[in-house]
Chains A and B, each alone.
Chain A
Amino acid sequence: MSINNQTQAVLLLTTYFGKPMKDEPKPLSPTEWGRLAHWLKGQKILPETLLQQDPADVMAGWVDRTITPGRIRHLLDRAGALGLAAEKWARAGLWVLTRADPAYPARLKKRLGNDSPPVLFGCGRRNLLNLGGIAIIGSRHASEQDLAFTSCLGSEVARQGLSVVSGGARGVDEAAMLGALEREGTAVGVLSDSLLRVATSAKYRKALMAKDLVLVSPFNPDAGFDVGNAMARNKYIYCLADAAIVIAASKERGGTWNGAVENLKKGWVPLWVKSHQDPASGNSELVKRGAQWLTDTEPSALSVRDLMEPEDQPDSGLPYVLALDSSVSDGSVEYRPESGSVNLPAADKEALDSQRGYDLFLHRLKQLTAEAPATPEQLKSSDVSGAQLRDWLKRAVSEGHVRKLSKPVRYQREPQQDLFDDTDSASAGHGVAKS
């Protein structure tokens, strides 16, 4: 692993190198880094300049309530810790990708924008990250039956020539990935903790060395389990894949449930759930919210490519809207790949796009205002016109997502608006992800 000086700068600004300690400056969140990176780009300043010159001089003209010059300096001063930590990562055969890296997964950038992780630590064959695949999702504690099904499913995905994307944890993740790897298929494991430990485990080592597997994590490879990190990680699994299958979700709780609901809400990838007898199960509830049943009980009968969106191309502006809609329209219609895109009147399509655009905007708005009020300037984005921005801001205020402050004008996030809270009626109510 050779870490160039730009990567060093990004690591210093965004990553913990050990256990977080009292009085330690908090690394920038993905969104914060996005904000700063955006500004640096606008100023034509490369991140590594912060290492070469006095950061106070470089940052002259930067004003931000949470990203203060003092915080930047403290973060950059952690050079000694980075040197020690990076030496160990390199020794273990790990690598680091930043958003600027060509190998950084395009799907993440496309779907998450500024929320995509500033750095990805990884091990194994990195170009698997850009191949997409089928996400297989479920809990650490699954029934024997579910595990057996998952293992067959993983191996079937491999047989049909696609990658399995999963979380690398015990239970369903492991069954899915090993199912694929035993078939000499490929797999992507997105870890929320302990990358170093998992990368040196007997079960994955062979596949890593055979270049059939890539393990990545947005967190320090030495970091142990952390609920927050595990939750934050789930979205990357969906976003790296082209379709997702939930094996079993507990209703209204747990990482599987939250991740699936988040995906439905954001419309990242088509979501499928394993059939389940119990109508009160989390799986049934997910179908009510827009997921689709996997009708085939035997994975071998499944055509996994049909689970994916045919228009799933990195450049199509708003993927998955139609597919989700088609499932929503009568609650039972399965997606039919041979039919291509569903014909909808142009006006409807526009309305959907517009609604979808507002949802995306709202998501971004909430993130940008998560830690401090944001100015209209900060909320601007190249793909939204000024008029559209004003309209949407007005609507967001009227729906109670944010409050408008004056002198100067800023938008503050309203309390109790949990980003991933499903009762968030405003976005769900009209959302395409939900009927």
Chain B
Amino acid sequence: MMGDRDQACGLLRQALGIADADFRPGQWEAIDALVNRREKLLVVQRTGWGKSSVYFIATRILRDRGSGPTLIVSPLLALMRNQIEAADRLRIKALTVNSTNRKEWPALMQAILNDEADALLISPERLANDEFVQHVLLPVAGRIGLLVVDEVHCISDWGHDFRPDYRRLVNVLKHMPENMPVLGTTATANNRVLEDVQDQLGGIQIQRGPLMRESLVLQTLRLPDQSARLAWLVEHIPELPGTGIVYTLTRRDADQVADWLVRNGIEAKAYYSDVESPEFPDSDAYRRHLEDLLRDNRIKALVATTALGMGYDKPDLGFVVHYQAPGSIITYYQQVGRAGRAIDRAFGVLLSGREDEEIHEFFRGSAFPGEGQVNAILELLAGSDGLNERQIERSVNLRKGQIEKVLTFLSVDSPSPVIRDAGLWKRTPVEYRMDIEHIQRLTRQRVVEWLEVQDYIDSRECLMVFLARVLDDENPRPCGKCAQCLGRPVVAEAYSHASAVEAARFLRQSELPLECRRQVAKDAFPQYGFSGNLPENLRAETGRVLSRWGDAGWGQFVADDKHAGRFREELVCALAEMIRDRWKPDPMPTWVTCVPSLSRPHLVPDLAQRLAVLLGLPFVAAVTKVQTNEPQKLQQNRFRQCANLDGVFKITDDVLPGPVLLVDDMVNSTWTMTVVAALLRQAGAGPVLPVALATTSARD
């Protein structure tokens, strides 16, 4: 019978293709516990220790004994190439079921039912999807012989990366009968997280190894202004070894930093959860492409949010630079720990700016849905046998994203007041009261974690020891190579004034494309008669927004001036410059008009008139507002945003036939621009080119 150490070691050699390889401490013990005692085991080992060897060898042994395939739940989109090779050498056929290969699901399911697959890789998101579990996973789950959960620290409330999908996973694990062996792996967990995981799962053994990373050279640097940090990046990234990752806190910063680096001749790409490219069918495919680019060293850096990290495993990553400080030391260790896995020297530089604090405060404040939102949705569902998202959207004044957040938040509770069944959200007969205290406790914990990051940035002791201590590593010793150990920067702190000036200019020229809507909400426009897809000849062209509300470029001026009641000349000039020098719309507009407002009748027309003067074009007030409506910004979802505009605007007879520049101060959902553009086209105007000072869209 398979399952003794020597035979397992033979499998290890086979997997690695190394004739005299032997187990690292802990590997055989883990395999033994899984295959011979069907235990539940939590393995805390640094990236690169060989966790996948453990589960592939265990899989091989169990399969040879006639067990079903291993289910691997991992945030990875696919197995890494080196893992695939190891699996191949063990004759392990591993299948991946994810959102990119939906068409293959029936064939993949059949392969599992035919006992042709040895391992099945799915993401936590899949496991949290009731339809997927019901129709794809459950029919084949009767055969699962081993359950592996990667990045298992995510199931903890205290984890830096609490994710609802993992919350669901905890409950699945809790309900796994004793005879299902389970392996949880993580490289990032302190004792509190481990205790929490142990509490939640019960009866799980913990195996823990040292987490110190000897090759990492650490440094911290406070540079409050974005322009200073951009300047630093552009001057120092080229001198960092190999390729690496620049972490930002928001998608917008990822885009902006990547754009800046590219302009300065550094090959970089932005990476975040919904990042898309027209050349790829969907975001997952593009993300895999980006991961490959970095892995194969075809770009200098990926500029990424936390979306890149979990499970991303590149042995020779040369550097991890943080453009903004992460929210906790655990997150930082997780991200910086990607560097220097299999090379002698790699750099981890944490830059911190003045906006970090504000961003984290926003994250903390929006981590949980409001009680009012929760109650509104529960009350709505209580009166029904089940509703789909679209029906919910029509009945409560919440954004689609807010509705989803509430439902996800509620549905990971167990028992939960809502459940998704047959495509509908249903109210279960479970009493519910939002646990405000728990939320407050978690929020306070986030604050403590953030303060810990501040301590790290200002630390005078060895930076590696600081990290190791927070992670409860047992014997941290000074690394002797970080900026604190050496008493001098490992990467120079200086940057040139010229770069800083250039960066400041860049920040002020970081306008965005403005895309109006194409498809209107059903039954929302009884007066205007719009329905379904707007015909091509009623759609607005792609326009421009000068800034984001309150950003480091123009956004702050826009916010100040809107409040003051008049937009300063600088902003009008900036708009004109953007249109003439950079956007250069085709066709060029021949006249200017604007979106009217009844509550502030002069603000926008004044802006549009002054812009028209600078552009040398006539201004025509061709759009009038004939009906008072609620402020558009209070309309939280698609249907409401559309319905709130029906019948509100009218086009006057002054409309001109040529291409027109349509001016507004702020855009959010872009519905106002969409509707006014369509009305202008209907009234005989040429192509409509929308332009605005700032976007307040929460998406960024």
Instruction: Give me the interface of A with B, judged by CB distance under 8 Å.
Output: 1, 3, 5, 8-9, 12, 17-19, 21, 23-24, 48, 50-52, 76-88, 90-93, 123-124, 196-197, 199-202, 204-205, 208-209, 222
B142 touches A77 (CB 8 A): yes
- Report B-chain residues with C-beta under 8 Å of the C-beta of A91: 171, 411, 413-416, 419, 428
Contact between A92 and B428 (Cβ–Cβ < 8 Å)?
A: yes
Docked complex Cα distance between A368 and B138 (Å): 32
CA distance A37 to B137 in the complex (A): 31
What's the A-B contact tally at a CB cutoff of 8 Å?
A: 134
Among B113, B138, B429, contact of A208 (Cβ-Cβ < 8 Å) = B429
**Considering the complex, which residues of chain B in the window 395-446 have a beta carbon less than 8 Å from any beta carbon of chain A?**
411, 413-416, 419, 421-422, 426-431
20 A-B pairs with C-beta separation under 8 A: A5-B178, A12-B177, A19-B139, A78-B142, A79-B144, A80-B71, A82-B175, A83-B141, A83-B147, A83-B173, A83-B176, A84-B172, A87-B171, A91-B171, A91-B414, A92-B415, A93-B416, A200-B386, A202-B383, A209-B429
Please give, as numbers and ranges, the residues of chain A lying within 8 Å of B668 by CB-CB distance. Answer: none
B176: which A residues are within 8 A, CB to CB?
A: 79-80, 82-83
Q: Which of B133, B386, B426 contacts A84 (CB 8 A)?
A: B133
Select which of B141, B383, B415, B419 is within 8 A of A80 by beta carbon: B141
Judged by a CB distance under 8 angstroms, whether B654 is at the interface is no
For the complex, is B174 an interface residue (Cβ under 8 Å from A)?
yes
Closest residue of chain A to B417 (Cβ to Cβ) is: A93
Interface residues of B in 83-139 (CB under 8 A from A): 113, 130, 133-134, 137-139
- Contact across chains for A79 and B421 when beta carbons are under 8 A apart: no
- Give the complex CA separation of A84 and B178 in angstroms: 14
The listed residue (A8, A18, A123) touching B177 by CB distance below 8 A is A8
CA distance A125 to B185 in the complex (A): 40
The answer to whether the Cβ of B382 comes within 8 Å of any Cβ in the partner chain is yes
Known: A83-B177, A93-B428. 10 other contacts (CB 8 A): A51-B177, A52-B179, A80-B144, A81-B141, A84-B133, A88-B130, A88-B419, A90-B175, A92-B419, A202-B385
Which residues of B are found within 8 Å of A52, using beta-carbon distances?
178-179
Q: B429 to A205, Cβ gap below 8 A?
A: yes
Minimum distance in angstroms from A370 CB to a CB of chain B: 26
Cα A181 to Cα B488 with chains together (Å): 78
Q: Which of A1, A50, A88: most chain B Cβ within 10 A?
A: A88
Give the contacts of B170-192 with A (CB-CB under 8 A): 171-180
Residues from chain A with Cβ under 8 Å of B411 in the complex: 91
Q: Which of A5, A23, A85, A202 contacts B384 (CB 8 A)?
A: A202
Chain A residue numbers with a CB within 8 Å of B142 are: 17-18, 24, 77-78, 80-81
Q: Closest CB-CB distance, B119 to chain A, in whole Å?
A: 13
Which listed residue (A77, A81, A87) contacts B174, Cβ 8 A? A87
- B670 CB-CB contact with A under 8 Å: no
CB pair A83–B428 under 8 Å, yes or no, is no
B428 / chain A contacts, CB cutoff of 8 Å: 91-93, 199-200, 205
**Beta-carbon contact of A18 and B178 below 8 Å:** no
| Interface core residue of A1, A91, A222 (most chain B CB under 10 Å) | A91
Main secondary structure of the interface of A (DSSP, over half): helix
Chain B neighbourhood of A80, CB < 8 A: 68, 71, 141-144, 147, 176, 180
Q: Which residue in chain B gives the minimum CB-CB distance to A213?
A: B429
- Any A CB within 8 A of the CB of B636: no
> Is B67 in the interface zone, CB < 8 Å from A?
yes
Find chain B residues with CB under 8 A from A87 CB: 168, 171-172, 174-175, 414
A80 to B71, CA, bound (A): 9
CB-nearest residue of chain A to B130: A88
Q: Closest chain B residue to A200 by CB distance?
A: B426
Q: A200-B421, A209-B429 are in contact. Are A77 and B67 (CB under 8 A)?
A: yes
> CA–CA, A93 to B426, complex, Å?
12
CB-CB under 8 A for A200 and B427, given A78-B142, A84-B141: yes
A11 to chain B, nearest CB (A): 8
Name B173's closest neighbour in chain A (CB-CB).
A83
Which residues of B have CB within 8 Å of A17?
Answer: 138, 141-142
Contact with A along B371-397 (1 / 0, CB 8 A): 000000000001111100000000000
What residue in chain B is nearest A25 (Cβ atoms)?
B142
Contacts of A201 in B (CB 8 A): 385
Query: In the assembly, what is the distance between CA of A23 and CA of B140, in Å?
Result: 12
The complex places the Cα of A92 from the Cα of B418 at a distance, in Å, of: 7
Q: Are B419 and A83 in contact (CB under 8 A)?
A: no
User: With a CB–CB cut-off of 8 A, which chain B residues contact A92?
Assistant: 415-416, 419, 428, 430
Q: List chain A residues, Cβ under 8 A from B414.
A: 87, 90-91
Closest 8 pairs (CB-CB, A-B): A80-B144, A208-B429, A83-B176, A200-B426, A79-B180, A86-B175, A93-B430, A81-B141
